Amino acid sequence: MSTTNQSAQALLASVLRATQNGVLVYQAIRTGGLITDLRLTILNAVAQRDFNKPATDLVGQLCSWLYPVKVKATLFDHYCQIIQTGESARFEYQYQLAAQTTTD
């Protein structure tokens, strides 16, 4: 087995391209030490397709703007726990984005 030394950014980019799932990376926004929101910093092509928007329109947006209230509250609680404890977690959450429509 051969190994190569890749920078962390190159390795992350490689993983984001290879995965078949939408991946979004957030940065915590803190006010007075408390996490008050999350800012989208990186997303892969699958997530762009799911949002039906280019990354340039999405990167920098706040979680509170990107998701409906119910979804935001659930995701926000999960993300805050991960950030505060430093422990990884695996969870799935499915919902239909407002930009997507279904037809019969």
Q: In a 3-state reduction of DSSP, which class is residue 100?
A: coil
Please tell me the predicted confidence (pLDDT) of residue 60: 96
Residue 93 lies in a domain: no
Burial class of 38 by CB neighbour count within 10 A (0 to 12, 13 to 18, 19+): buried
For residue 102, pLDDT over 50 is answered with: no
Q: How many domains does the chain fold into?
A: 1
Please tell me the predicted confidence (pLDDT) of residue 97: 61
CA quadruple 91, 95, 98, 103: dihedral positive or negative?
positive
Residue 104 lies in a domain: no
Residue 1 lies in a domain: no
Residue 94 lies in a domain: no
User: pLDDT of 31-85, one tens digit each?
Assistant: 998 999 999 999 999 999 988 888 899 999 998 888 767 667 777 888 888 888 9
Please tell me the predicted confidence (pLDDT) of residue 41: 93
Residue 100 lies in a domain: no
Residue 33 lies in a domain: yes
Q: In a 3-state reduction of DSSP, which class is residue 53?
A: coil
Please tell me the predicted confidence (pLDDT) of residue 90: 82
Alpha helices in the chain (DSSP H): 8-18, 45-51, 55-58, 63-66, 69-85
What span, in angstroms and rounded, lies between the C-alpha atoms of 101 and 51? 12
Residue pair 97/71 in contact by the 8 Å Cβ criterion:
no
Write the CB contacts of 75 (distance below 8 Å, at least 6 apart in sequence). 63, 67, 93
Statement: the pTM of the whole predicted model exceeds 0.85: no
- pLDDT-based confidence at residue 99 (cuts at 50, 70, 90): low
Residue 57 lies in a domain: yes
Residue 42 lies in a domain: yes
What range does the domain containing 51 cover?
21-85
